[in-house]
């Protein structure tokens, strides 16, 4: 893995995204963070987990005692789509854990939400396994935004695809990269520090493979899909 002195290889992403401060629509959208060159996009949901200690599923985080709030365990993995069905949420491209919290008036204590700004290790391995099939031999680029670096500067690295797993363990870097993409720019993945899902754009075949993966949970979207916590108009009515 090589740290680059210049951010020049990242310039194409800045050039091909819609600058959201000049976007007059409400909220933020996929195209504000990923290049619009791709024909297909999807959200990669960061896994949720059940806390087996909590038997009362109606208990919300805001109503917890200090002990209930500070001591938690990661039990079985929960699927967002199964929770959506359980709580009678309608499917939409904007569906996320925020939709669930809005519907229930808060965050259920028994649910440990997916990490914001980080793809956990098992999902990362599964994701690399899928991406490897759609990545030509050669290097990939990994950008850590300034808020994901202890040095508080943007840091760009170049290395093999699988090296992202090692990069995510470095002490001065926080979680997985903000952006990563191959040299031929055939796909691009983005993880925001405030979202508990990641975004990826690529070919129809890549997005289909991600949607079909048994471990990953993905929701197809498009460049104009809104992604902030108030995005889900379908379930906010």
Whether residue 7 sits in one domain with residue 74: no
Whether residue 205 sits in one domain with residue 136: yes
On whether the CB atoms of residues 96 and 189 are closer than 8 A, the answer is: no
Whether residue 71 sits in one domain with residue 16: no
For residue 154, what are the domain limits?
Answer: 2-44+116-221
Which residues lie across from 156 on neighbouring strands? 143
Whether residue 121 sits in one domain with residue 199: yes
| Cα→Cα distances 67→53, 63, 114, 177, Å | 12, 11, 21, 33
Among the three residues 60, 94, 114, which one is the final residue of a domain in this structure? Answer: 114
Which residues lie across from 93 on neighbouring strands? none
Whether residue 188 sits in one domain with residue 96: no
E strand or H helix at 211:
helix 204-212
Whether residue 133 sits in one domain with residue 217: yes
Whether residue 53 sits in one domain with residue 34: no
Give me the pLDDT at residue 229, please: 84
On whether the CB atoms of residues 181 and 15 are closer than 8 A, the answer is: no
Whether residue 207 sits in one domain with residue 141: yes
Please give the structure tokens belonging to residue 161.
Answer: 């695809």
Give me the pLDDT at residue 151, please: 87
Whether residue 102 sits in one domain with residue 127: no
Whether residue 38 sits in one domain with residue 121: yes
- Specify if 12 maps to a domain: yes
What does the alpha-carbon distance between residue 84 and residue 183 come to, in Å, rounded to a whole number?
37
- DSSP secondary structure letter of residue 122: H
Angle at 46 between CA 21 and CA 217, to 5 degrees: 110
- Specify if 231 maps to a domain: no
Give me the pLDDT at residue 236, please: 65
- Specify if 229 maps to a domain: no
What does the alpha-carbon distance between residue 111 and residue 48 come to, in Å, rounded to a whole number?
7
On whether the CB atoms of residues 189 and 27 are closer than 8 A, the answer is: no
pLDDT along the chain (237 residues), means of 10: 94 91 76 95 96 92 84 91 93 91 90 90 95 90 93 94 91 93 97 94 97 97 91 71
The set of residues, in sequence order, having a beta carbon less than 8 Å from that of 38 and lying 6+ positions away, is 187, 188, 201, 202, 203, 223
On whether the CB atoms of residues 179 and 190 are closer than 8 A, the answer is: yes
- Specify if 235 maps to a domain: no
- Specify if 7 maps to a domain: yes
On whether the CB atoms of residues 181 and 142 are closer than 8 A, the answer is: no
Global pTM reads 0.92
On whether the CB atoms of residues 47 and 114 are closer than 8 A, the answer is: yes
Whether residue 135 sits in one domain with residue 188: yes
- Specify if 236 maps to a domain: no
Give me the pLDDT at residue 23, please: 64
How many structural domains comprise the chain? Answer: 2
Give me the pLDDT at residue 200, please: 98
Which residues lie across from 200 on neighbouring strands? 42, 189
Work out the end-to-end distance of the chain between its first and last CA atoms, rounded to an integer number of angstroms. 48
Whether residue 176 sits in one domain with residue 138: yes
Give me the pLDDT at residue 237, please: 60
- Specify if 226 maps to a domain: no
Among the three residues 74, 99, 114, which one is the final residue of a domain in this structure? Answer: 114
- Specify if 237 maps to a domain: no
Among the three residues 89, 114, 139, which one is the final residue of a domain in this structure? Answer: 114
């Amino acid at each position: 893995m090589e740290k680059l002195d210049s951010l020049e290889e990242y310039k194409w992403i800045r050039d091909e995204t819609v600058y959201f401060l000049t976007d007059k629509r409400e909220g933020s959208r996929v195209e504000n963070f990923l290049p619009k060159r791709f024909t297909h996009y999807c959200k990669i949901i960061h896994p949720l987990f059940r806390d087996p200690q909590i038997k009362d599923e109606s208990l919300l985080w805001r109503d917890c005692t200090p002990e209930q709030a500070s001591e938690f365990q990661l039990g079985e993995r929960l699927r967002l789509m199964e929770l959506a069905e359980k709580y009678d949420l309608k499917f939409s491209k904007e569906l996320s854990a925020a939709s669930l919290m809005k519907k229930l008036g808060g965050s259920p204590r028994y649910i440990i939400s997916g990490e914001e700004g980080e793809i956990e290790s098992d999902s990362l391995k599964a994701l690399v396994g899928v991406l490897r099939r759609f990545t030509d031999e050669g290097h990939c680029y990994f950008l850590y935004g300034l808020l994901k670096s202890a040095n508080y500067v943007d840091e760009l690295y170049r290395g093999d695809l699988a090296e992202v797993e090692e990069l995510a363990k470095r002490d001065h870097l926080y979680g997985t990269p903000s952006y990563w993409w191959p040299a031929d720019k055939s796909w691009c993945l983005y993880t925001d520090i405030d979202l508990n899902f990641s975004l990826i754009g690529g070919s129809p075949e890549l997005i289909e493979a991600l949607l079909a993966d048994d471990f990953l949970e993905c929701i197809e979207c498009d460049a104009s899909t809104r992604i902030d916590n108030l995005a889900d108009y379908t379930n906010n009515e």
